[in-house]
Amino acid sequence: MNHIARLAELYLNLMERVLLGVIYEDPPIDQWSGGVYNPVLRAKDRDWPAKAHTMIGFERLRNLRVLMSHVIGDQVPGDFVETGVWRGGACIYMRAMLKALGIVDRKIWVADSFAGLPTPDSVRYPSQDQGDLHHTFKALAVSLETVQENFRKYDLLDEQVRFLKGWFKDTLPDAPIDRIAILRLDGDMYSSTMDALQALGHKVSPGGFIIVDDFGAVEGCRRAIQDYRREKGIDEPMQDIDGIGAFWRVSASACSSSHGVGINLDAQLPGQVPRRSVEGEQAAA
Ligand SMILES: C[S@@+](CC[C@H](N)C(=O)[O-])C[C@H]1O[C@@H](n2cnc3c(N)ncnc32)[C@H](O)[C@@H]1O
């Protein structure tokens, strides 16, 4: 590795630690992790940090880096999208990676209500989100201005970052996104996961990835993924990240158009990413 590549790696390593609040041992604000900073919980997204800019944990941030390296290395066309950004940390990290690699022809799309999660929609989803309480968590509502300010703090707010403000069902279907290399779903609920997939899933390039932040943690999210994959006949295996997050790689046959030339869809992912399938998912999907 030359020293420029090494510097980029060190920059991203430091970004991870800052974005996660590891440096100053930012304590959690959720009601289940005891109010005391615990590096093990932080690494696996088992807590909500008080001030840090992402809650997705070290393993899922690192997974994002590995998958981004993979699509960039394979020249998989498209932008990077997260639906459900909270304080923006995962998107800030993706922007940092593009910056570190000098990539100027891809964008980061930052989609959120910037007002928390919606109340369950009993008309469009009569039973799927019944009783879901995510909308009551005020800590999940972070304004657009705050998220933009967070990007600015890292000197990463520029024209390569685009914001989509509003409910996914309203903003995503007509979003001016052409192709997607990585779609990162982090909307927690069945409706939020399904709305994002229905609007954007077909735009993910062959060789691109769909990451599901809450696959192993939130039943509604998991069911939305299973329903979507069944409906579309998707049988690429779900790969586990850390016991909660999971992803699959989009194959040429699952996409309406193919940009597949030169993309090795069977390539093993480097290091960090466990290749085991998520237990039980295949039978259910
Ligand atoms: C768990 S947080 C995302 C965490 C974030 N990815 C991170 O890096 O820490 C969930 C986010 O999804 C957003 N959200 C969920 N459902 C939504 C919907 N249907 N429309 C718009 N935003 C939604 C919420 O506002 C919240 O910011």
Q: Work out the mean pLDDT of the chain and round it to a whole number.
A: 88
Would you say the CB of residue 160 lies under 6 angstroms from ligand 1?
no
Q: Which tens digit of pLDDT belongs to each residue from 25-34? A: 999 988 888 8
Using the atom order of ligand 1, give the atom closest to the CA of residue 112: 22
**Residue 125 Cβ < 6 Å to ligand 1:** no
Asked whether the predicted pLDDT for residue 259 surpasses 90, the reply is no
Read off the pLDDT of residues 202-258 as tens digits, 9 standing for 90 and up.
Answer: 999 999 999 999 999 999 999 999 999 999 999 999 999 999 999 999 996 544 333
What confidence score (pLDDT) does residue 133 get?
Answer: 85
**Ligand 1 mutation target, pool 192, 195, 214, 218, most atoms within 8 A of CB:** 192
Looking at residue 76, what is its pLDDT? 97
154 with 92: CB under 8 angstroms? yes
At position 223, the amino acid (one-letter code) is R
The C-alpha angle 245, 246, 247, rounded to 5 degrees, equals: 140
pLDDT at 114 over 90: yes
The full 3-state SS of 22-78, as one line of letters, equals CCCCCCECCCCCCCCCCHHHHHCCCCCECCCCCCCHHHHHHHHHHHHHHHHHCCCCC
The ligand 1 atom at the shortest distance from the C-alpha of residue 116 is 25
- Given this model, what pLDDT does residue 252 score? 66
Ligand 1 pocket test: pick from 18, 186, 215, 241 the residue with the most ligand atoms within 8 Å of its Cβ: 186
List phi, psi (to 5°) of 219: -60, -40
Asked if pLDDT for residue 271 goes beyond 70, the answer is: no
Assigned token pair, 187? 């909307």
% of the chain beyond a pLDDT of 70: 88
Nearest to 247 by CA among 285, 223, 214, 203: 214
Percent of the chain with pLDDT over 90: 73
264 phi, psi to nearest 5 deg? -90, 100
pLDDT of the residue at 269 = 35
Give CA–CA dist 267/70, Å, rounded. Answer: 9
CA gap 213, 110 in Å, rounded = 15
Are the beta carbons of 162 and 106 closer than 8 angstroms? no
Q: Indicate if the pLDDT at residue 260 is higher than 70.
A: no
Sign of the Cα pseudo-torsion (117, 118, 119, 122, in order): negative
Atom of ligand 1 nearest to the CA of 53: 9
Whole-angstrom distance, CA of residue 285 vs CA of residue 127: 19
Average pLDDT for 147-154: 98
Kindly list the distances between the CA atom of residue 9 and the CA atoms of 168, 175, 198, 205, in Å, as whole numbers in the listed order. 33, 32, 35, 26
3-state secondary structure of 228: helix
Q: By alpha-carbon position, which residue is closest to atom 5 of ligand 1?
A: 85
171 in contact with ligand 1, CB cutoff 6 A: no
Is residue 87 predicted with pLDDT exceeding 50?
yes
Name the closest-CA residue to atom 7, ligand 1: 54
Using most ligand atoms within 8 A of CB, pick from 85, 108, 190, 215 the residue to mutate for ligand 1: 85
Question: Is residue 57 in contact with ligand 1, taking CB distance under 6 Å?
Answer: no
Q: Taking a C-beta distance cutoff of 8 angstroms, is the pair 120, 129 a contact?
A: yes
CA 84 – ligand 1 centroid, Å: 3
Selection from 19, 101, 90, 76 nearest residue 261 by Cα: 76
Q: ∠193-198-203 over CA atoms, to 5°?
A: 110
- Residue 192: CB within 6 Å of ligand 1? yes
Bridge pairing between strands 161-165 and 180-185: unpaired
pLDDT band at 14 (very low <50, low <70, confident <90, very high): very high
